[in-house]
Structure 1
Amino acid sequence: MKVTIREINKYVDQEVTIGCWLANKRSSGKIAFLQLRDGTGFIQGVVVKNEVPDDVFQLAKTVTQESSLYITGMVRIDERSPFGYELLVKDIELISESHDYPITPKAHGTEFLMDHRHLWLRSKRQHAIMVVRNEIIRATYEFFNDRGFIKVDPPILTGSAPEGTTELFHTKYFDEDAYLSQSGQLYMEAAAMALGKVFSFGPTFRAEKSKTRRHLIEFWMIEPEMAFYTFEDNLKLQEEYVSYLVQSVLKNCKLELNTLGRDLSKLENIQAPFPRIHYDDAIKFLHEKGFDDIKWGDDFGAPHETAIANSFDRPVFITHFPKAIKPFYMEPDPDREDVVLCADLIAPEGYGEIIGGSERIHDYELLKHRLDEYHLPLDTYQWYLDLRKYGSVPHSGFGLGLERTVAWITGTEHVRETIPFPRLLNRLYP
């Protein structure tokens, strides 16, 4: 019976066959221990010399790393294994022999591993990170579908930019200028006016020349937009969503989190509601912490966000940023014209902003005025203004960066490990 490693717990004390690769091996006299992987998980195969034909034991001792195999054996409970099971091997069939596999069990430098990303993905650590990433995606669809949201796919090629064109990839769209999308938000607002509550999940691009551990050139965003949602409604949805993601990973990926050495207690505490700090108070707090360089009207950098986050045991909202440092579409605070109804959600443990969101301007004249202030062409944004012309309503939305969220939940230091093939400032290979 051919099965996968992930479902092997259903076949205790039964003989099964798995298609797999040899991740590693060691032998001790008359026993060989094979570390096997099949894409769904990892398991140890135990080959005892006296219990298999001579050619099978010889193959077990000589087979090379990353050779592909069919392994037949008896499933046994193994309480010493993190996985909980092992295979008592009866037969081995070599499918394809691997020669001189470049990623050996010794330590390798980051650039070497990035050059071999197509192979590095096979390692136990990278496998665990990708499984958690997949769980976050699965839980995202579940969360929004259960709450009546409709999935909408905004275009990747756009003729305008929600936050200006200085950090966009420019291309030619026949005889017009076009850009790779940095956000699907404007289109999602149009979708919300048609469908009520919507969300998107897709790639976004930032031509930002940054080399920090938090930045990628190409990354994935989850962007919900909701008609008739106030600023407060928006914050409540965000904290419910992030709590849901963390608890789903804890429930369904405990083996992977343990493989990564993640401190589970820090994740178990992630439950809504989340604390909030007004931008004004954040500036005062930073001054008290010795950050004399920051003044009112400045945006926060990584050290500032980390200092604020370290004062809380769960994600924290920084709210009501100055209007001058935020995009044109954000609704002003009705009590203060100099700040807008927006919030950044900062993850704990130094992982920085994982969500940016706001209530959107719904007044036609105000939005038109803001477009003028930002020197944005009205003809390009006419369709966006139309949303305020034909039945405008209060509405809000946010964007969650998938890779930063994966990095935080898995405890991974650099976002380059949280996407299968990262695009970095100096890396387009493989």
Structure 2
Amino acid sequence: MKITISEVHQHIGEEVTIGVWLNNKRSSGKIAFLELRDGTGFIQGVVVKNEAGEEVFQTAKSMSQETSFYVTGTVREDARSPFGYELQVTGIEIIHEAVDYPITPKAHGTEFLMDHRHLWLRSRRQHAVMKIRNEIIRATYEFFNTHGFTKIDPPILTGSAPEGTTELFHTKYFDEEAYLSQSGQLYMEAAAMAFGKVFSFGPTFRAEKSKTRRHLIEFWMIEPEMAFYEHEDSLKVQEQYVSYIVRSVLENCKLDLHRLGRDTSKLEQVSAPFPRITYDDAIELLHEKGFEDIKWGEDFGAPHETAIAESFDKPVFITHYPAAIKPFYMQPDAKRPEVVLCADLIAPEGYGEIIGGSERINDYDLLLKRIKDFNLSEEAYKWYLDLRKYGSVPHSGFGLGLERTVAWISGVEHVRETIPFPRLLNRIYP
């Protein structure tokens, strides 16, 4: 019977066949221990010479790392293994013998591993991170589908930019100017006026020359937009959504979190509601923590966000930023127009901002003024202004950066490990 490693718990005591690769091996006298993987998981194969026979035993001992083969054996429970099962091997059928696999069990430098990213993905650590990424994506669809959202796909090539063009990749679209999208938000606002509650999930691009552990050139965003939702309504959706995906990872990725050595006690504290502080309060808090140089009206950097997050056990919302440092489309606070109805959600443990969101301007004249204030093309945003001419309503939305969220939940230090093939400032290979 041919099965996968993820299915072995259904076949205890049965003889099965699994297509695998050899991840690692060791031998002790007349027993060989094979670390096997098949893409769905990892399992130890035990080859006992007296039981499997001389030929199978010698094949097991001579196989090289990443050799592919069909392994046959009996599934046994193994309380010593975090996985809980092992395979008592009785047969091996070689498919392809790998020679001189470059990523050996010894330590390698980061640049070497990144040059071999196409192979590094096979490792236990990278496998665990990608499984957690996949679970976050699965839970995202589940959350929004069960809360009445419709998935809409915005374009990747755009003729305008939601936050200006200084950090966009420019290209020619036949005889017109175009950019790789830095956000699908504006299009999602149009979709919200047609479907009420919508979300998108897709790649975005930022031509930002940053080398920090939080930045990628190409990354993926989840961007919901909601008609008839004001700022406070949106914050509730955000904290419910983040709580949901954290809980889903805790429930469905226990083994992956264990492999990464993640302290799950910190994740178990993540449940709505989340603490909230205003930008004003954040400035005061930073001054108390020794950041005396930060002035009102300046944006926060990574050290500031980390210092703020250290005061809380859960993700924290920083609300009501100065309008001057936020994008043109954010709704000013009616009681205090110099700040906008927005929030950044800062993850604990130094992972920084994972969500940015706001209530959107719904008044035509105010939006037109903001477009002019930002020296943007009125013609390019004519369609966006139309949304305020024909049945405008209060509406809000936000964007969650997938890779930063994966880094935080999985506990890895750098976002380059949270996407299959990272695009960095000096890296577009492989």
On whether the aligned pair clears a TM of 0.5, the verdict is yes
Instruction: In structure 2, list runs of 5 or more residues that go unmatched.
Output: none
Residue 237 of structure 1 aligns to which amino acid in structure 2?
Answer: V
Give me the whole-angstrom Cα distance separating, in 1, the residues matched to 2:314 and 2:95.
49
Question: Paired residue for 1:390?
Answer: 390
Match of 2:21 in 1: 21
| C-alpha separation in 2, matches of 1:369 and 1:419 | 39
**Residues 174-228 of structure 1: CA deviation (Å, up to 9, x unaligned):** 0000000000000000000000000000000000000000000000000000000
**Local SS of the residue matching 2:74:** strand
Whole-angstrom distance in 2 between the partners of 1:362 and 1:7: 52
Match of 1:332 in 2: 332
Take 1:175 and 1:381, find their aligned partners in 2: how far apart are those partners?
19
Shift in Å at residue 292 of structure 1?
1.3
What is the alpha-carbon distance in structure 2 between the residues aligned to residue 293 and residue 90 of structure 1? 68
Q: Which residue number in structure 1 is paired with residue 183 of structure 2?
A: 183
**2:110 alignment counterpart:** 110
Q: Which residue in the other structure is 1:378 paired with?
A: 378
CA displacement, residues 255-291 of structure 1 (integer Å, 9 cap, x when unaligned)? 0000000001001110000000100010011111110
Once the two structures are superposed, residues 23-58 of structure 1 have per-residue CA deviations (whole angstroms, 9 ceiling, x without a partner) of 000000100000000000000000000011211111
Question: Which one-letter code corresponds to 1:246 in the other structure?
Answer: V
Q: Which residue of 1 aligns with 2:82?
A: 82
Matched, 1:6 2:12: no
2: CA distance, partners of 1:205 / 1:30: 55
The letter of the residue matching 2:262 is R
Distance 2:116 2:292 in 1: 43
Distance 1:88 1:55 in 2: 16
Match of 1:274 in 2: 274
Partner of residue 32, structure 1: 32
Could you say what the CA RMSD is over the residues aligned between the two structures, in angstroms?
0.4
Does structure 1 residue 253 correspond to structure 2 residue 285? Answer: no
Structure 1 counterpart of 2:74, one-letter code: M
Distance (whole Å) between structure 2 residues aligned to residue 243 and residue 53 of structure 1 = 52
Does the alignment pair 1:61 with 2:66? no
- 1:214 is matched with 214
> What is the DSSP-based 3-state SS (H/G/I as helix, E as strand, rest coil) of the residue aligned with 2:190?
helix
For residues 42 and 372 of structure 1, what CA distance do their matches in structure 2 show? Answer: 57
Distance 1:255 1:152 in 2: 33
Following the alignment from structure 2 to structure 1, what is the Cα–Cα distance between the partners of residues 100 and 177? 48
Report the Cα offset of residue 69 of structure 1: 0.8
Partner AA of 1:343 in structure 2: A
Query: 4+ residue runs of structure 1 moved beyond 4 angstroms?
Result: none
Following the alignment from structure 1 to structure 2, what is the Cα–Cα distance between the partners of residues 55 and 15? 19
Q: Which amino acid aligns with 2:385?
A: L
Partner residue, 1:303: 303
Determine the structure 2 residue equivalent to 1:368: 368
1:222-260 deviations in whole A, cap 9, x for unaligned? 000000001000000000000000000000000000000
- C-alpha distance in 1, partners of 2:328/2:52? 72
Correspondence for 2:401: 401
Aligned to 1:420: 420
Partner residue of 1:149?
Answer: 149
Distance of 2:224 and 2:212 partners within structure 1: 27
Q: In structure 1, what residue type is equivalent to 2:399?
A: G
Determine the structure 2 residue equivalent to 1:262.
Answer: 262
Which position in structure 1 is the counterpart of 2:410? 410
Offset, 1:67 = 0.2
Mind listing any 5+ residue stretches in structure 1 that lack a counterpart?
none
CA–CA distance in 2 between the matches of 1:372 and 1:133? 40
Count matched residues: 430
Cα deviation 1:142-170 (Å, max 9, x = unaligned): 00000010000000000000000000000
2:387 counterpart SS class: helix
Q: Which amino acid aligns with 1:133?
A: R
Counterparts of 1:185 and 1:374, CA distance in 2: 18
2:225 is the alignment partner of 1:225: yes
Q: Deviations over 1:393-416 (max 9, x none)?
A: 000000000000000000000000
- Structure 2 letter corresponding to 1:76: R
Shift in Å, 1:332: 0.2
Aligned partner of residue 168 in structure 1, secondary structure:
coil
3-state SS of 2:90 partner: strand
Mapped to 2, the partners of 1:7 and 1:230 lie a distance apart of: 46
CA distance in 2, matches of 1:263, 1:43: 23
Question: Match for residue 355 of structure 2?
Answer: 355
Question: For residues 267 and 394 of structure 1, what CA distance do their matches in structure 2 show?
Answer: 34
Distance (whole Å) between structure 1 residues aligned to residue 337 and residue 35 of structure 2: 62
TM-superposition CA deviations, 1:89-126 (whole Å, max 9, x none): 01000000000000000100000000000000000000
Question: What secondary structure sits across from 1:145 in the alignment?
Answer: helix
